[in-house]
Amino acid sequence: MALWCGLLALCGWFHRGRGRHALFGLGCFTVNLLPVLGFLNMYFLKLSRVSDHFDYLPLTAIVAMGAAGLCLLPGTVRLRLAGGALVLSLSLLTAQRARVFATEEGLWRDTLAKNPAAWIAHANLGWVLADQHKYDEAITHLNASLQSNPANAQAHCNLGRVLSLQGRFTDAEGQFGMALKLKPNDAGIRRSYASALAEEGKKEAAVRELREALRLQPEAGTRVQLARLLYETGQFRDAAAKYRQALAAQPDRVEGLSNLAWMLAACPDPAVRNGPEAVRLAERACRLTEFKQAQVVSVLAAAYAEAGRFTDAVAASEKAVELATAAGDARFAAMNRRLLGLYRAGRPFHEPAPSGVRPNPE
């Protein structure tokens, strides 16, 4: 800092001619750096005290000064050679540095190589590794993040998600508890906790968490997640209502269209089933996916069968078998062949009631 101030003072001393131009260029560079030098409050400083990408904008002034300096070189040939060498050098450096940004994992590993205590890099790398099913390494990085910043609620949440994927539900619940203690009004954390509880088999507790998440942040994705759980716990009418609310907010949400259509076609409760509405929803989902997703086409077949359109149901079910086979999903293809037998016999498919749930009689 002292050296830089001295350089500015020197340029100010030679304020006439070229010294004035240099002072202007260095002044522009300095002013553009001010927001990240620590003199001004900036949210990023909570995450890291350094970040080289904040140099990019101020460097335009230095580049302009360099270009102006090249113009002072005598002779056109020398100027072209110097300019070409500069462009080539910068291009090579750019290509070398760009490799770091090619993948998210590469970016965070490069960050940690330069700053092993970067807690946000540990947290982000941990979740990237979790997506790759490298759970042990992910847990190592998430724990390292929490050692540096125990108040990072999202890291506690991510650690809980990874532990639940490993089946370590007791440890996972402890991490989710810490995350919610730090951020009790975070709907995203509650959604993640609900997913873990559902995997553990605690579906009623998961429903409670999702209802609270929905209260904190009404969002279509949360309604769909809650509707799935309500259906699995036999709360069919409430599930249908949640799907309809989600579709009212996002009419083209394929997941909501397909799930509600399936419920209206195959629900154990006859009071919930509605063949014509199921067909309308399933046809819309198929149009949005261009009739290329086996699961969505299979829902359409079930909807046709519930509506009594068995010829259409057979055709859609055969299409679902074809799509599943082409995708290499032998299990789903086999399931649709069994459904195809029902439709050919003129019978719709109705799911059995979940354990402990007694549907209304036909």
Q: Mind listing the pLDDT tens digit for each residue in 204-217? A: 999 999 999 999 99
pLDDT of residue 39: 66
DSSP per-residue codes, 246-260: HHHH-TT-HHHHHHH
Question: Domain boundaries in the chain?
Answer: 105-215, 252-354
Please tell me the predicted confidence (pLDDT) of residue 64: 73
Q: Tally helices (H) and strands (E) across the chain.
A: 18, 0
Greater confidence, 274 or 131?
274
Fold match between domain 105-215 and domain 252-354: yes
Average confidence (pLDDT) over 188-214: 93
The tokens for 76 are 């056109």
Residue with tokens 């077949």: 301
Tokens of 166: 């490993």
Dump pLDDT digits (tens) for 120-144: 889 999 989 998 999 999 999 999 9
Please compute the mean of the pLDDT values over residues 311-323 and round it to a whole number: 96
CATH architecture of the region 252-354: Alpha Horseshoe (1.25)
Residue with tokens 């506690």: 156
User: Which among 62, 86, 60 is positioned nearest to 73, based on CA atoms?
Assistant: 86
pLDDT at position 53 is 67
Calculate mean pLDDT across residues 169-178: 94
26 versus 191: which is more confidently predicted? 191
pLDDT average, residue stretch 28-38:
70
**What does the mean pLDDT of the chain come to?**
85
Question: Rounded to an integer, what distance in angstroms lies between the CA atom of residue 198 and that of residue 201?
Answer: 5
**Collapsing DSSP states into helix, strand and coil, what is residue 270?**
coil
Which CATH superfamily does the domain covering 105-215 fall into? Tetratricopeptide repeat domain (1.25.40.10)
Q: d(Cα 53, Cα 135) in Å, to the nearest integer? A: 31
49-58, 173-182, 248-257, 303-312: which range is least confident on average?
49-58
DSSP secondary structure, 346-359, as one string = T----PPPPTT--P
C-alpha R_g of the chain: 30
